[in-house]
A and B are shown apart, each in its own frame.
Chain A
Amino acid sequence: MAVHRRLEVSEVGAVTVVRFVDRKILDAANIQELGDELFGLVEQESRKNLLLNFSNVEFMSSAALNKLIVLNKKVQGVGGKLRLSNLRPEIYDVFVITRLNTVFDIKADEADALAAFGK
């Protein structure tokens, strides 16, 4: 099992649930590390179905969005699904402004997102 410093990783059935350690996803080095850990879930740990729970996240910049876009492509590349949940309104606004809400499957909460994996 890989060691994660920026993520809390658990499994619910066939879904890997990821929570973020940092309340503010900001610092370039942290974002780089975060991206590496997220990509490692797919590339090293062969996980296909990822649910990113943002309940702990109060702030994120576009540098973090860039990592999510790359992660989404990696998950799609292995035939998996990436879903996001528990975004606070300000962060959801960022997805709407950039229209990334049309790229990512965003659910209100973890239960909704987990249910969507079962469909």
Chain B
Amino acid sequence: MDDHWNWSSELRIPSDTSVTSEAIEPLLERLQSAAWNPRDVFGVHLAVEEALVNAIKHGNREDLSKSVHVAFRTNQECVQIEIADEGPGFDPGTVPDPTDADHIDQPNGRGIMLMRSFMSRVEFNDLGNRVLLEKCRSE
């Protein structure tokens, strides 16, 4: 299944939210050089940023002794990203809908909704400490 990807990269980043931009940059450069449309690139960028921040803050709780494992894969049409933290996991079904009247004016809780909106596929493992994001070109 993996052999249909023509570019891949794996990295391990510290549990520090200041490093997320640098981690994402090679993927964005790859998409831009393959002429993905800017709206798709924006969506992938946002989804990966949200997933990384969730892994660092909520998964690893910014514990610098823990890492976040990241895998990027692309081919001509699609991009796939796996992000795994070393935390205990969570049940994404328990995250409140941030658009509910009770939560609409509350800070936090919008990351997963944005991932699901901008990506074609968002799947968590059973434990909830690894997420798979996939996006195929809009056109």
Task: Name A's B-contacting residues (CB within 8 A).
Answer: 24, 26-29, 59, 61-63, 65-67, 69-70, 72-73, 89-90, 94, 97-100, 102-103
Contact = CB atoms under 8 A, between A and B. Distances in A.
B21 A26 contact: yes
Contact of B117 (A65, A67, A97): A97
A61 B53 contact: yes
A87 to B, nearest CB: 13
Shortest beta-carbon contacts, A-B, top 5: A66-B107, A28-B17, A99-B99, A62-B110, A90-B42
Contact of A62 (B42, B45, B50, B104): B50
A28 to B, nearest CB: 4
Interface residues of B, number: 25
Contacts of A89: 39
Interface of B: 17-18, 20-21, 38-39, 42-43, 45-46, 49-50, 53, 98-99, 104-108, 110-111, 113-114, 117
Q: Main secondary structure on chain B at its contact with chain A?
A: helix
Nearest to A26: B21
A26 B53 CA distance: 10
22 contacts: A26-B20, A27-B21, A28-B17, A59-B42, A59-B45, A61-B50, A61-B53, A65-B107, A65-B110, A66-B107, A67-B107, A69-B105, A69-B106, A73-B105, A90-B39, A97-B114, A98-B99, A99-B99, A100-B104, A102-B104, A103-B104, A103-B105
Nearest to B117: A97
A96 B42 CA distance: 15
B18 A27 contact: yes
A102 B49 CA distance: 24
Contact residues of A: prevailing secondary structure: helix
Contacts of A24: 21
